[in-house]
Amino acid sequence: MTPVVRALLIANVAAFFLQQALPELANAFVFVPGLALVRPWSVVTYMFLHGDLMHLLFNMLSLFFFGPRVEERILSRPFAILFFLSGITGALLSVVFSPGSPIIGASGGVFGVMLAFAWFWPHEKIFIWGVLPVPARILVIVTTLFALWSGFGGMGGGIAHFAHLGGYLGAFLYLRWLDRKRTAFKRQATAAPPDAVRRVAGYRAIDLASVHEVNRGEINRILDKISAQGLGSLTPRETTFLSSFVPPDDPAPPKT
C-alpha cells in the first residue's frame, strides 16, 4: 500500500473511533456551509468524520482500491494535494448549491481519486457489487449524472451530492494543471540550447564539401526541410545538429 493512502486510511479510522467516543467534540469539526467563515478548519476536518460504519467502510474501500495506483502514477505529494483539493472543492460547491446542509465524510476526496483513476485508465473495468463490469470512465459519467440529477432535483437522501460533484471538479482542474505543467517542463527540457538556435540561423554558411560524408546526407535532408517548410519547422534535435556545422562568427577585429 502506498504511504499517503495508508496514512489517510489510518487517520479516518482513528477519527471515526474518536468521533464515537467524543461526539460533542466531533461536532466542532463538521462542515456547515453557513459557518464556513467562522469555522474555516472544517473545510478539511469534515473529510475525517463519517455518519456510521458503512459510510466509513464504503469510502475507505474505494480509497483502498483506487488510491494506490493513482498515487504510484502521480507520486505521493501530488496525490495528497489531489485528495485534499477535491475534498475542499466539494465543500465549497456545497456552500454555493446546498448552503443549509452540514456535510461529513471523505467522499469528496475519494471521488477526486476515482476521477483520477478514470483519467489515467479510462477503459479499466470496475466491478460493481463484484459482478457488474463497468469501464472507469463510464462509472464517472454515470455517477456525475446521478449526482446532478439528485442534487438539483432535491433528492438528497442524506447524501452530499454536491460534495461528490465538487470532488470531481477539483480533481479535474488539478489534473489538467498537472498535464500543462508537465507538458511545459518537457518542452523546456527538450528545447534546443539558445546558442544553437542563434547559430543555426547562419546555416547558409555551411561548407558541405568540408563535412564528412557520414553527416552530409542528414544535413542535406535538414536543408531540404528548411527550404520546404522554413527554419521554424526544425525539431530541437535537428536545430542542435545543424548548428554544430555552422562556422563560428568572425572574431572581432583587434583594437588599435
> Where in the sequence numbering do the catalytic residues fall?
107, 164
HEC string for the chain? CCHHHHHHHHHHHHHHHHHHHCHHHHHHHCECHHHCCCCCCHHHHHHHCCCCHHHHHHHHHHHHHHHHHHHHHHCHHHHHHHHHHHHHHHHHHHHHHCCCCCECCCHHHHHHHHHHHHHHCCCCEEEECCCEEEEHHHHHHHHHHHHHHHHHCCCCCCCCHHHHHHHHHHHHHHHHHHHHHHHHHHHHHHCCCHHHHHHHCCHHHCCHHHCCHHHHHHHHHHHHHHHHHCHHHCCHHHHHHHHCCCCCCCCCCCCC
Taking a C-beta distance cutoff of 8 angstroms, is the pair 4, 27 a contact?
Answer: no
What are the grid coordinates assigned to 204, written together?
547558409
Taking a C-beta distance cutoff of 8 angstroms, is the pair 118, 62 a contact?
Answer: no
Taking a C-beta distance cutoff of 8 angstroms, is the pair 119, 72 a contact?
Answer: no
Interatomic CA distance for residues 115 and 138, integer angstroms: 11
Interatomic CA distance for residues 157 and 149, integer angstroms: 12
